[in-house]
Structures are given as C-alpha cells and as structure tokens.
Amino acid sequence: MLASMALWTQKSVEALRRDAESNLLRRSLGPWNLTALGIGSIIGTGIFVLTGTAASMNAGPALVLSMVFSAIGCAFSGLCYAEFASMTPVAGSAYTYAYATLGELIAWIIGWDLILEYALSTATVAVGWSGYLVSLLNDIGIFLPPSVTQAPFNLPAILVVGLVSTLLVIGVKESANANTALVLVKSLVLVLFIAVGASSVTRANLTPFIPPNTGEFGAFGWSGVLRGAGVMFFAYIGFDAVSTAAQEARDPARDMPVGILGSLAICTVLYIGVAIVLIGIVPYSRLNVPDPLAVGIDSTGLTWMRPIVKCAALLGLFSTMLVTLLGQTRIFYSMSQDGLLPRVFAIVHPRFRTPHLSTMLTGAIVALVAGVTPIAVLGQLVSIGTLLAFTLVSIGVVILRRTAPDLPRPFRTPWVPVVPFAGAAICLVQMIGLPLATWIRLVTWLAIGLSVYGMYGWRHAHPNAVTRQATGDTRHSDDRYAACR
C-alpha cells in the first residue's frame, strides 16, 4: 500500500519555491537572453535540414500547412508552459510541472521522456551540423571520406558535441552570450534568404499545393500534411528549453513567459517565410538533401550566398546544441535533487556554478549517439518524445487549476480548459501521424525508464526535500525501500 501511494506523491509548489530560494545556480539571464535561448534552440536542424526532407517525402508545397498546424499546437502548449514557468521558477521544465500536478510516477515518465528529447535533439543537430560542414568543405576543395562523416562513425558530429559540452561547463552566462550572438547571425541570414529568394519563386513549383497521395499513409495528400506536421514539429522544439533555465533567470515570473512565447512567435514567422520561398524556388522532389537552403540558393543563381548560408547554418546549429544540451543537464539536475537519479547529477562546480559532471557525462553519451545514428531516426524519436511532454504539460495546467486554484499565477493561460485541451489534442494527432517504428522505440525507451525507476528512483525519491550543500548533497526525507520492506 505504501509503495502504491508513493507512486502518486506530488511535489508541493511550496517545495518548488523553496528549491528556487535555495538556488545553487547563478541567476544571470534576462528576458532577451531567455528569448535568444528559445530562438537559438528552435532555429536549427528543423529549418536547415528537415524542411527539405518533409517537403520531398511527405507534404510537398503543403508543408506550409504542416508548419502552421504544428505552430498552433506549440502556441497552445507554450501558453501552458508559460503559466507553469511563472509559478514555479525552478529548473526541470515539464518534469517539474508533472511532479507538482500528476505525481511522482508520471513525473518520472516525463523526465525520462525529456532525457530522450533533449539528448537525441542535440545528437540530431550535431549530425545536421556535420552535413553542412562537409558540404562547405567540399565547396573549397576539401573532401572528407564518408567513413568519418556518416554513421556509424560521424567524427565532426562527435567533436562538435565535445566543444559544446566544454562551453557549457565554463558557465551559463558565457554560453548564453555566445548563443545570443549566434542567434543574431542565423536570424539575419534567414531573413536575407527570404528577401533574396522571393523574386525567384515560381508558381509552378507550388502547384499542386497538396500533391495527391501515393497510396501510402504519410506520402502526400492530407495524410502527408499530418506526417509532415509530425516531422516538422521537431523544428519548433526549443521554446520549452527556456523553462529548463528558470533557476538561472533574474526575474523568472516576468521573463519566462516573454522568452517562451516571444521565441515561438518570431520563429514561426521565419519558418513559414523560408518554407514558401524554398519550395517556390526548387521543386520539392529535389529537396531530400542535407543542405536544402544551399540548394535553394544555387537555383537562384546567386552563388555568392551559398557559403554565407552554410556558415550561418553551422553557427545556428551550434547555438541550438548549446541550448538543448543545457536543457538536458538541467533536467538531470532537478531529477537528482529530488532523489530520482544519483546525486552526482546535481553536483555544481564551485567556481563555474554549473552541473559540470552531469554536463560532461551527458556530452559523452550524446557524442556517441550522434556518431552512430542516422538523422531520420533521431528526428522522429525527438518529435514523439516532445509531443508526449507537451501533452502532459497541457493537461497539468487544467489539473492544477482545479487542485490549487488559489496559487499565485503571474501569467495565466487564457481560456482554460479549451486552450490546454486543444494543445493536447493537436499534439496527440501529430503523434498518431508518426511511423509505427517510432512508437515502438518510444515504448521501449519508456519501459527501460520504468525499470530504472523501479530499481533506483522510487526507493530514493524525496520530492519535498531541499538541497543543503553546494556540492549537490541532498537530504532524504524518507527511505521508502526500508519502509516498504
């Protein structure tokens, strides 16, 4: 009986706020830093690589509809994230929110799911970064053999993850400043791509707008629009990473909603503009390449822009890896503070004030995954994991409104429960559109997670304890294993 009750233990909002007050991480991020973190994470492999894949294999010109569908779902989920982030300004994102509303077991599931999301997202972007680097080097006469640039040994992807991990160990403020500069560069280049390419758009390339289905679900037609939304959802992942930095925000109640919603709005406008121009320049059937924007520039005849686009892609993808790997380590940090993972993940460096051991360990694993796994498999896994997280966050807002209606909410999601339920429904529909193999991989990952929870997490969890020492040591409030024996 006690074991069963422990599975549904909730972490009180008061405990979350105590965690924030006993913060070991440095509060150094303002609203622009947070918005830039969101943009830095969102604008990455999704727009620079997967746009071409989704257009050529799934939706054709109707990829624009896929993007709009994904953006609407993200907007609804983003409103829910903003409410939670303003209420509970601690690291952990959807994991923390689930602990406060749905209980420990669901929190573990979503935390384990977020590990999949952020780690594989970083690996996916690293593979995309490698593709653009190889393409740029080819342009200047340097040719790297496929044996060191593709799975099962993608050396550039491994090395860039190591570089990102090193920067994150040094400090979050330094990482945020580097990210802000990179965000400005890649955003300006995307605007330049839209402006230069608009005059070369051909109406014939956009007709038919929704190509007829080939007889297979997800291969054009309306099912292709749905599958394209599920694939391109990866391109919007990132605004939720802002919430993982809540304990490093100077004024989280005010700045977190700005960072989450502002980054999502800016990126949606850029994405739709890029998609229309790219597919209008190049027939969608020719876009199944690792560098679709470069192909688009070549079609305009403005070859002087090709190295600019590729360099911007390299810088932009680097900033995306910065943010997603930061988010991954902060998820580990929160789960470790709650006892669900070993204490090593919550140890903070005495000088840099970053979870350095967690960052180095995560970076090593992500580098390995990036080196051996194809990008298509990675992208779909990240999308389904994130869609699950968004669904649970949306439902969590409705639950907490009923169970704790009097809690202060600096930002309130409008039209509850309509907006949260709509966000959850759109996410679930996109999940349905993903391949069966992706579902099998998700279920397998969650099954492994439940095994880890059963062997370690539920025995050591102490959701309402407060971190005591700068070394990451955490006091247990109970020993469930002893009690249940």
| The pair of three-digit structure tokens given for residue 84, joined into one six-digit string | 């939670």
At 153, phi and psi to the nearest 5?
Answer: -145, 90
Q: Which domain holds residue 167?
A: 28-484
pLDDT(465) > 60: no
**Backbone phi and psi for residue 189, each to the nearest 5 degrees, phi listed first:** -70, -40
- 224 close to 62: Cβ distance less than 8 angstroms: yes
What is the model's pLDDT at position 477? 41
State both tokens at 184.
């400005």
What average pLDDT score do residues 268-295 get?
Answer: 89
Residue 470 confidence (pLDDT): 35
Binned at pLDDT 50, 70 and 90, residue 485 comes out as very low
- 2 part of a folded domain: no
pLDDT confidence of 4, banded at 50, 70, 90?
low
Phi, psi (5° rounding) for residue 436? -60, -40
Q: What is the mean pLDDT of residues 266-280?
A: 92
At residue 478, the pLDDT reads: 42
For residue 126, the Cα-to-chain-centroid distance in whole angstroms is 14
Residue 343 in any domain: the answer is: yes
CA nearest to 131, candidates 302, 376, 366: 376
**Confidence bin at 90 (pLDDT 50/70/90):** low
Q: What is the pLDDT averaged over residues 135-160?
A: 89
- Most confident option among 99-113, 209-223, 427-441, 468-482: 209-223
131: confidence class by pLDDT, cuts 50, 70, 90: confident
The gap between the terminal CA atoms of the chain, to the nearest Å, is: 11
Tell whether the model's pLDDT for residue 472 goes beyond 60: no
Question: Distance between CA 151 and CA 100 in Å, rounded?
Answer: 40
Q: Which amino acid is at 278?
A: L
Q: Within 10 Å of residue 173's Cβ, how many Cβ atoms?
A: 17
Q: What residue type is 142 in one-letter code? A: I
pLDDT surpasses 50 at 469: no
Q: Which residue has the tokens 């609203």?
A: 31
Residue 5 has pLDDT above 60, yes or no: no
pLDDT number for residue 61:
95
SS3 150: strand
pLDDT surpassing 80 at residue 315: yes
String of DSSP letters for 279-299: HHHS-GGG--SS-HHHHHHHH
**Is residue 231 within 8 Å of residue 50, measured between CB atoms?**
yes
Instruction: Give, in order, the Cα–Cα distances in Å from 110 to each of 35, 93, 101, 446.
Output: 24, 10, 12, 9
pLDDT band at 24 (very low <50, low <70, confident <90, very high): low
Q: What is the pLDDT of residues 204-247, one digit of tens each?
A: 999 999 999 999 988 999 999 998 988 787 778 777 777 766 66
Residue with tokens 């406060």: 100
What pLDDT does 276 receive? 94
DSSP 32-46: HHHHHHHHHHHSSHI
Domain count, the chain: 1
Q: Is residue 267 part of a domain?
A: yes
DSSP designation for 325: H
As a whole number of angstroms, the distance between CA 11 and CA 456 comes to 18
Residue 431 lies in a domain: yes
**Residue 403, in any domain of the structure:** yes
pLDDT at residue 194, rounded to an integer: 93
Residue 70 sits at the vertex; the CA angle it makes with 325 and 420, to the nearest 5 degrees, is: 90
Distance between CA atoms of 466 and 334, rounded to whole angstroms? 11
Contact 363, 161 (CB under 8 A): yes
d(CA 209, CA 334): 46
What does the block give as tokens for 467? 């971190």
In a domain, residue 215? The reply is yes
Q: What is the pLDDT of residue 479?
A: 44
Mean pLDDT of the chain: 82
In this prediction the pTM is 0.78
Structure tokens given for 179: 């990210």
**Residue 425 covered by a domain:** yes
Is 147 a residue whose pLDDT tops 80? yes
Instruction: Average the pLDDT over 14-43 and give the result.
Output: 73
* Residue 235 belongs to domain with CATH number: 1.20.1740.10
* pLDDT for position 401: 92
Please give the Cα distance from 429 to 416 (Å, whole number). Answer: 20
Band of residue 464 on the pLDDT scale cut at 50, 70, 90? low
Task: Report if residue 10 sits inside a domain.
Answer: no
- Containing 74, the helix (H) or strand (E) segment is helix 63-87
